[in-house]
Structure formats: C-alpha cells, structure tokens
Structure 1
Amino acid sequence: MSVKNDLTQIKNEFNKDGQILESAFRFEILLRRYRKSLIALLVLVIAGVVYIGVSGYLTQQRHTRANEAYKEILKGETPELLESLRQNSPTLYDFYLYTHNPSEETLQNLMRSQNELIAQIATYQSIQHTLDSLLGGIESDKSQNIAEVFASLPSLKDKTLQQWLILQEATILLQKGHTQEAKAKLMLLDENSQFARIGNSLRHYQR
C-alpha cells in the first residue's frame, strides 16, 4: 500500500513539474513572439520616467530664475531682467506689466495674455478707458457714433464684468441723451445680477 502511495505521489510531482515546464515553455514562446513590442514598451516607460524627471527639474529651474528676476526688477527694472522674466514665467511677466502703469499698447498686448484672468482684466481696463473718454465727451473719431464705438469694443468672458459694462454703457447713453437706447441696454441686465437694482433705478431716469 505504501509503495502505491509513493508511486502516486511521484506521479503527481511529475505532473506538477510538467505543468511548470509547459507554462515556462509557453512563456518563452510569448516572449519570443512579442519581444520587440515588450522592448519598445520598456523603452517608452523608461523614456517617460526620464522625461517627467527632467521636465520637473527644468520647471523648477525656470521658477527659480523667474523669482530671482522679479525680485531684481522690483529693485530696478532693466531690459535684460524683463526678458529673463518673460522667458521663464510669462504669467508673472504679464502680471508685472499690468501692475506697473501699463500703456495703451501694453494693455492691448495683455489682452492676449495666456493667463485668462490677466487677459480679461486688461480687456476691461481698455474698455473702461474708451468709456471714460466717451463720458468725458472726448472721441478719437468724431465720425463714429456711440453705438459704433460700443460695437467695436472687445468682448468680456467674465459675467460680472459683462454686467458692469452694460451698466456703464447705459450711463453713457443717458449722459448723451440717448434715453431709449439706454433703457434697451439696461434690459440686458440679468435680474439676478448685483447691478439689477441700479439698473431698475436708471430705467426711471429722466434727463
């Protein structure tokens, strides 16, 4: 009985070894068949890891150079420092330009900033300059009427700024005596806008 059990155990061991060898043989076949693909995948993984590491290092270096340039610019602006700031951090460069009395030309450039917030603020300030000129009776082109000037203004994406701009346009129209046009403009105000109450008051304005 013992011999029979031993033979059965040996047979089972052979079966297990056979299964292991069969699996290894299949793996070797798969490895040979997809060897090039596996090598390519491995290369891509290694390249990805290296790229992430190098990219992170370069980004950190750019941030460091941008911060150093910004600190030096605050002490004394030079063309070289401005160029260094622009190359290493376009957003910080645009922010610096906006916060240091930008000219009309600079504002026009900032309206195309990669930073959406800076672009919108610059756009609003440029529009504000035009509206202030209209309100003061100063028009660069006397042949343009107010409606044409408004139509030529760039668009704003920020809803709050949009509502505030509508209110300002209506005020200018009222100031110029275009009452009906002003009331039509005020109808564009969102009833839930924080400026709606002011708009309602202006609708009853009589010049």
Structure 2
Amino acid sequence: MSIQDDVKYVKSELSGDEKILESAFKLETLYKKYKLLIWGTVAALLLFFIGSTVMESMKESRLADANKAFLTLQKNPADASALETLKTKNPALFELFSFSEAVKKQDAAALKTLSASKNEVVADSSKYVAANLEKREADSKLYKEMAELEGAYLAIKAGDSAKAKEKLELIDARSPVAPLATLLKHATLKVK
C-alpha cells in the first residue's frame, strides 16, 4: 500500500503543480490582454496623487502669503503691497479686512461697495452699518432685531409712535435687545 500511497501522493503533487502552472498561464494571458488598462490605471492613480499633493502645497503657500499680508495690514493698514497680496491670494479675507477698515473709518461709500459682495455675511453687515451711518432704517438678516430697534428709535425721533410700536412688537421677549425694546416702548408712551 505504501507504493499506492506514494503514487497517489505524486499524482496529487503533480496536479497541484499543474494547477499553479495553469493559474500562472491564465494570469499571464490576462496581463497581456489588459496590459494597457493596468498601466493606464496605475499611471492615472500616480498622476492623481502627485497632482493633489502639488495643489495642496500651492493652496497652503497661497494661504501662508495671505496670512502674512493680513498680519502686515493689522500693523500698517496703508501698506499697498500687502493689500494687493491679500486681495489676490485670499479675496474673502480681503473683503473682511476692508469691511473692518470701513467700519473703523465710518466710510459709507466703501460699505456700499461691500454690500454688493458675494459673501452674504459681509454684504448684510455692510448694508446694516451703512444704513446706521446714514441714520436710516436697515433691513438685515443678521441684525434683524437690532435693525427693528433702531427703526423704532428713528420712528420715535420722527414722532411716529405707531410705527415705533409696530417695530418694537416684532422683537422677541427672549432677545438680548428686549430690555431696550421695553425702554423704547415706554418712550413711545411719552411721545403721545
């Protein structure tokens, strides 16, 4: 029996080697058939990773330059080169800096320009501050209750207590400006 066992063992070993060899031939055939696709995919993946690394590096460099320009502008707001660098490297930060400077200088013309910004926060804030500087009512999403309060104050100054009451009723009792609204409501009583 040992010879039969040896023969079976040799046959199984040969069939195992045949299967490995057969698999290798199939793999070689697949490789030859799809060689361009395989290498194209590898090249595309390499280009993607290299490209994304380069783009990320360029973005970080641009932001570092913008931050350096912003820090320079905080020390010296009149620095024209830093202002231009900030404008080209980070337009959103440039708008925010311009808004800040316009508010400090109370520059209504600059605020009107900024009110056309694509950045909704800068645009809304600019409209609100410009209206306050011109002492007229403002329509603001961010400063809604403050705008209502100021509108009521302007109405009281104009002697229109009914309009002032309407505006003051729009302010929620849980709002931080509610105590001021209550004071102005009392002021409308005195206007009569």
TM-score, normalising length from structure 1? 0.70
Kindly report which structure 2 residues correspond to 1:33-182, keeping only aligned pairs within 5 A, or say none. 33-73=33-73, 74-75=75-76, 77-100=78-101, 101=105, 103-113=107-117, 116-130=120-134, 132=135, 134=136, 150=137, 153=138, 155-156=140-141, 158=142, 161-182=143-164
Q: Shift of residue 33 of structure 1?
A: 4.9
Residues 20 and 72 from structure 1, CA distance in 2 versus in 1: closer, same or farther, beyond 3 angstroms? same
Counterpart of 1:87, as a letter, is T
Q: Distance in 2 between matches of 1:9 and 1:95?
A: 81
Counterpart of 1:90, as a letter, is P
For the aligned residue pairs, the C-alpha RMSD in angstroms reads 3.0
Q: Distance in 1 between matches of 2:22 and 2:39?
A: 24
Is 1:98–1:122's contact at 8 Å kept on the other side of the alignment? yes
Aligned residue pairs, count: 185
Q: Which residue of 1 aligns with 2:15?
A: 15
Q: Shift of residue 22 of structure 1?
A: 3.9
Gap regions ≥5 residues in structure 2: none
Identical counterparts, % of pairs: 25
Q: Shift of residue 196 of structure 1?
A: 3.0
Gap regions ≥5 residues in structure 1: 135-149
Q: Distance in 2 between matches of 1:162 and 1:81?
A: 35
Q: Indicate which of 177, 182, 188 corresponds to 2:170.
A: 188
Q: Shift of residue 45 of structure 1?
A: 1.7
Is 2:125–2:140's contact at 8 Å kept on the other side of the alignment? no
Is 1:91–1:114's contact at 8 Å kept on the other side of the alignment? no
- Deviation digits for residues 15-65 of structure 1 (CA, Å, limit 9, x no counterpart): 333333344344445445544443443233222212221112212322333
User: Which secondary structure state, in structure 1, belongs to the residue aligned with residue 170 of structure 2?
Assistant: coil
Counterpart of 1:80, as a letter, is S
Q: Shift of residue 169 of structure 1?
A: 1.1
Q: Distance in 1 between matches of 2:114 and 2:84?
A: 16
Q: Shift of residue 10 of structure 1?
A: 2.2
Q: Which residue of 2 aligns with 1:198?
A: 180
Q: Shift of residue 115 of structure 1?
A: 5.0
